[in-house]
Structures are given as C-alpha cells and as structure tokens.
Amino acid sequence: MGKKALVTGSSRGIGAAAVRLLARDGWDVTVHYNRSRQAALALAAELGVPALQADVADSGQVAALFQAAGPVDLLVCNAGIAEYGLFTDTDEDAWRRLLAVNTDGAYRCCRAAIPYMVRQKAGNIILVSSVWGLYGASCEAAYSASKAALIGLTKALAKELGPSGIRVNCVAPGVIDTDMLARFDFADRQALMDETPLGRLGRPEDVAELIAFLASDRASFITGQIIGCDGAFGL
Ligand code: NAP
C-alpha cells in the first residue's frame, strides 16, 4: 500500500485534479467532499478509493473525517469558497464564514494531521492559497485575507515542523477554470485571460501538477515556499 494522502475539497476542480494525479503517482488517496456527494462518489469509484464527507468549517466534522481517514502522510488543504462584493457590504457573518472555511478549515485539518506526522518524523502539508492572498483583490477582501493567512501559516509551520522532517508549502493559483469562476460571464473571462501574460485561464491540472511535484521526493528540500501557478497574472 502506498503512502496516504488526503486532499480536502476534492469532489471538484483543483482538488479533484490533484487526487487524480496523486493516485497516478502512487499515493493512496482519499477523496473528500462537503456538498458534492455524487461527484465525489463518482471520482472515488473511478480511482477505487474511499470518499469521506465533512464540512471543514465544523470542528466535530473535521475530527470525524480524520478518525475515518486514519493517519495521513500528505495533507492538501484545498477546500475553499469565494465571495464577491464591496468590503463595506461584507457583514460579519459573511466574513466569518469565509475565514471559517478557508482559514480555520486549514487550521483544523493541520491540527488533526500533524501529531501522526511528528511521531513518524516525516510528513508533507500543502496549503492552497491564491494570488489574491499575495496581492489582494478589490471586492474580495475577506477572500484575500483568508488566503493571506495561509501564507503566514505555511511559513510558520515550515519552521516549527522542519525539525520533525515535515515539509510545508503553499501553492498560489492564479485564475483557474473551475466552478469558482461561475459568476464570471464571457467578457469577464476574456478580461481575466487578457490580464494573464500566458493568455489563457489555468487548468485544474496545472495546479495539480505543482501539488504532485511538491508532494513528491523530487521536492525533498523545498519547504516554507509560496509557489505561484498563475501564468504571471498579477505580477
Ligand atoms: P471549486 O471548483 O469551487 O471547488 C471547491 C472545493 O472545495 C469543492 O470540492 C468543495 O466541496 C470544497 N468545499 C467548499 N466548501 C467546503 C466546506 N465548507 N467544507 C469542505 N469542503 C468544502 O473551487 P476550485 O477552483 O477548485 O478551488 C480549490 C481551491 O483553490 C480553493 O481553496 C480556492 O480558493 C483555490 N483557488 C482557486 C482559484 C480559481 O481561480 N479557481 C484561484 C486561486 C485559488 P463540495 O463541492 O463537495 O461542497
């Protein structure tokens, strides 16, 4: 049996692409979902692996998820949501919900995964941030803040866990063609492509290949890094 990997939010988009590529690379993957049960079960059946449900905004559900999944050698904190609107229209509930999923969710999953990794003196954590976590986005203040927090968390954990043989890295995708872009119309998408020097939207597989690389021993001296996958968007 290969080493175990859990990718949160792997029912769709970047997470689904990541579990496919990690399975290709020999990882014993678990698909995780919150609402997209059918998609998760279909992917799990395709790969012959388990699918587990949990809302990462809920501590009890995250504890149950790790109980069911068992110890993992690789944790990819990918589950995330986005909201669009003026900061002055962002009420406290909306702010808290974004941080509860994007930031606290990663915190909870890391807390659950790390003790086993420390005992093993080995482990690998990859946090999925965003270019907006690096540069900030107008009308996405809560999202930008939630993703910036993951950048600080990556650097801190890399220092704290390095002596235990655990690598912690962060990927910062640019504009990736997933359901997260559903609110954008044709003109918006064209504008985003025009703003991307490589002239196209990213594919989920573009980010998944970076995750697969960071997960592999080919990246064995890489930790504490924030690595863009963005076609130079935002530079
Ligand atoms: P997506 O297609 O909308 O997928 C989001 C995933 O997160 C789904 O699998 C969803 O699960 C899961 N999820 C959402 N809320 C959850 C919750 N409360 N508990 C557990 N899982 C939850 O988005 P994506 O584009 O692949 O995004 C993946 C990650 O990349 C996110 O963290 C996002 O912020 C980041 N990112 C995306 C882009 C982009 O342009 N697409 C750019 C930069 C960063 P269910 O569907 O099962 O509920």
Q: Which two tokens stand for residue 218?
A: 């080919």
Nearest 10 degrees: Cα torsion 54, 100, 111, 79 = 50
Per-residue pLDDT at 2: 81
What is the Å distance from ligand 1's center to 78 Cα? 6
Q: What is the pLDDT of residues 124-172, one digit of tens each?
A: 999 999 999 999 999 999 999 999 999 999 999 999 999 999 999 999 9
The pTM assigned to this predicted structure is 0.98
Q: Specify the pLDDT at position 235.
A: 85
Report d(CA 177, CA 203) in Å as an integer: 6
H/E segment holding residue 227:
strand 226-229
SS3 category, 74: strand
In ligand 1, the atom with minimum distance to the C-alpha of 176 is 40
Ligand 1 centroid from CA 82, angstroms: 8
Burial, 88: exposed, middle or buried (Cβ in 10 Å; 0-12, 13-18, 19+)? exposed
pLDDT mean values, one per 10 residues, the chain (235 residues) = 93 98 98 98 98 98 98 98 97 98 98 98 98 97 98 98 99 98 94 97 98 98 98 92
Active site residue 116: no
Say how many Å lie between the CA of residue 119 and the centre of ligand 1. 30
- 104-120 helix and 141-161 helix, angle to the nearest 10 degrees: 10
Give the per-residue pLDDT at 1.
62
Beta carbon of 119 within 6 Å of any ligand 1 atom: no
* Domains, the chain, with CATH or none: 4-229 (3.40.50.720)
Of ligand 1's listed atoms, the one at least distance from the Cα of 14 is: 26
* CA 79 to ligand 1: nearest atom: 7
